[in-house]
Structure 1
Amino acid sequence: MSVKGAVEEAGRKADHSDLLDAGIRVGLVFYALVHLVIAWLGLQLSLGHREDRLDHHGALHELAQHAFGAAVLWLVAAGMAVLVVWRALELFVEHRDEDTWDRWGHRATAAAKGMAYALIGASAFSVVLGDSTERSGRTEETWTARLLSLPAGPWLVAGVGLGFLAYAVVMSWRGLSGRHRKHLTAEGRHGDSGTLYLLLGTIGYVAKGVAFGIVGGLFVWAASTHDPAKSGGLDQALARVLQQPAGPWLLGAISVGLGCYGLFQLARARHLSR
């Protein structure tokens, strides 16, 4: 057997291992926890009770403030690492028997999700080592300014925005079309509990799509105005929602939706289908 064949065979064995399944379940639990904390912070802000970053940075800093916070952050980082491994296996091992377009579509999705998990894991690692919210909060504006300074900078920033908008459409469509059903086993899709799980998924995916649609809109706006201060991540996007008429109600609704997404991920961890 060639080296390439041996590597592929090892990857297939790892992909079908019970140990990886267990790790994915744990990773999904902590992924859900991050979303639930973001939802809680968003609800608190919509009620005017506190001000925190409404993204994974804010959620991780919130977790760090509680008892055993450092231990939880280490577990978050470890869980995200397992999820990155899972997506890497999807990228290089799975979907080989599909049509070319389907295969590359699934690979692109796996790569995007892997990068998202890696970002959360790296953030958990930096927070537990004492990274500051203020420093991380300037990241989006800083690299947007660097992109805008390039000859084709506005087009690059607009491309980033369109990427977020495409992700938002995919997330919302996944919820509305019921495609999130495939993430649950047959047991997880049936009965009263299954109906509840799927409803949580529908609301959660649509809410996350709306949130990231606003993120994409901010980047497109920054590109059109050549102003990096108008760009931003999830935190800035939800802060803009709060500034609109009926903003607290809108932010509260999106926060509830993100909480539903977190609860669906918990159901997915219990009834994992992959």
Structure 2
Amino acid sequence: MSKTGDSSASDVVESVQDNGAFEKAARAGHFVSGVLHILIGYIAIRLAFGQGGNADQSGALAELGEKPGGSIALWVAFVAFVALALWRVVESIVGKKSDDDSGSVMDRLKAASLAIVYIVFAWTTFGFASGSGKSSGKQNASMTSELMGNGFGKFVLVVVGLVIIGVGGYHVYKGVSRNFLDDLEGYTGKTVERLGIVGYSAKGIALIGVGALVIAAVFTSDPSKATGMDGALKTLGEQPFGQVLLIVAGVGIALYGLYSFVLARYARM
């Protein structure tokens, strides 16, 4: 393809990024993510008091669907996640709209990885909106069981576990170092800063737990351990002072949800 062709394609992508309705839809993805994290935190706190539920995305989507107008809310959530995923795809091609340059290779790779995350979120949400949603924990355990059938599958699981631990560690670092402030436009105040510190740290610790359980499932030959966020939180609840730990984790994840509302308004897009 000629340089003129490349330039024209880039111009088209940038013009899409300048569409105000598209940006609002993408920002709505952050808002929906916030709602789901608050619901996950709420379910975790419920678990601390002996009540049932799945403290993960599937559990939160099921809770949302049971509310008045839940079916409509799920379809809105699906559209919002699709919009945010597409926004990240565009960002991986031309960089952030708010950047003076096209962004570094690392920034584009980060945008591409986030696009994959939101595509998965959208797919899971579509399942619940269409009435075919399934427990994420059961699906994770089933997939883990299949992969554990051979040596290569076990290797893949260990790598996946280490990647999840790395992502969790990055979340903790981003919270403690306050690097998340670089994602926001303008001064948002100390309250937002505190939300980001606690929220990112809490989610990061939860992700580290998820990754550790994936690796534990491989070395104990017990795929039931690898049940994602729900399994990590329930394992936390089984520890000494587990009730207190679950409440703290639930509050922290809910605070990350509140920070996601901030992203919906102030994120650099």
Q: TM-score, normalization: structure 2?
A: 0.92
For the Cα contact (< 8 Å) 2:137–2:228, is it kept in 1?
A: no
* Kept after mapping to 1: 8 A contact 2:195/2:255: yes
Letter of the 2:267 partner, please give it. L
1:27·1:82 contact (CA, 8 Å) conserved in 2?
yes
Residue 187 (str. 1) matches residue 187 (str. 2): yes
What does residue 168 of structure 1 align with?
168
Question: Shift of the alpha carbon at 1:106?
Answer: 2.2
Consecutive unaligned residues in structure 2, runs of 5 or more: none
SS of 2:151 mapped into structure 1: coil
Instruction: State the partner residue of 2:118.
Output: 117
Aligned residue identity for 1:241: L
1:187–1:271 Cα contact (<8 Å) kept: no
Contact 2:64 2:73 in 1 (8 A): yes
Per the alignment, residue 273 of structure 1 pairs with: 268
**C-alpha contact 1:163 1:216 (8 A) present in aligned 2:** yes
C-alpha distance in 2 between matches for 1:70 and 1:237: 28
Give the deviation of 1:13 after TM superposition: 1.8
The unaligned stretches of length 5 or more in structure 1 are 189-193
Matched, 1:206 2:201: yes
Question: Greater shift after overlay, 68-77 or 88-97?
Answer: 88-97
Q: Please list the CA deviations of residues 77-133 of structure 1 after superposition, one character each: whole Å capped at 9, or x if unmatched.
A: 0100011011101212217755xxx51x32332233222222222122111222254
Return the match for 2:240 from 224, 241, 245.
Answer: 245
Say yes or no: does 1:221 pair with 2:216. Answer: yes
Alignment check: 8 A CA contact 2:127 2:134 kept? no
Show the counterpart of 2:95: 94
SS in structure 1 of the partner of residue 16 of structure 2: helix
Distance in 2 between residues matched to 1:97 and 1:63, nearest whole Å:
38
Deviations 1:38-66 (A, max 9, x none): 11111111122x21110010000001111
What amino acid is aligned across from residue 265 of structure 2 in structure 1?
R
8 Å contact kept, 1:36–1:259: yes
SS, match of residue 138 in structure 1: helix
Q: Distance in 2 between matches of 1:10 and 1:249?
A: 52
Instruction: Quote the RMSD (CA, aligned, Å).
Output: 1.8
* 1:74 equivalent in alignment to 2:75: yes
Task: Indicate if the aligned counterparts of 1:197 and 1:264 stay in contact, CA closer than 8 A.
Answer: yes
Work out the CA distance in 2 between the residues paired with 1:122 and 1:11.
Answer: 24
Letter in 1 for 2:40: I
2:17–2:87 Cα contact (<8 Å) kept = yes
Distance in 2 (alpha carbons) for counterparts of 1:161 and 1:269: 30
CA distance in 2, matches of 1:181, 1:126: 34
The TM-score, its normalising length taken from structure 1, stands at 0.90
1:8 aligns to 2:10 (yes or no): yes
Q: Which residue of 1 aligns with 2:230?
A: 235
Q: Partner of 1:143 in structure 2?
A: 143
Looking at structure 2, the residues matched to 16 and 199 of structure 1 have their Cα atoms a distance apart, in angstroms, of 31
Deviations 1:176-221 (A, max 9, x none): 0011112222132xxxxx1001100110000000000000001111
Identical pairs, percent? 27
Moved more, 143-152 or 64-73: 143-152
Q: Decide whether the 8 Å contact of 1:154 with 1:226 is kept in 2.
A: no
C-alpha distance in 1 between matches for 2:6 and 2:177: 38
8 Å Cα contact 2:137/2:231 also seen in 1: no
SS at match of 1:130: coil
Residue 191 of structure 1: aligned partner: none
The more displaced of 176-185 and 147-156 is: 147-156
Q: Give the whole-Å Cα distance in 2 for the aligned partners of 1:199 and 1:24.
A: 24
Q: Which moved more, 1:125-134 or 1:173-182?
A: 125-134
- Does residue 153 (structure 1) correspond to residue 153 (structure 2)? The answer is yes
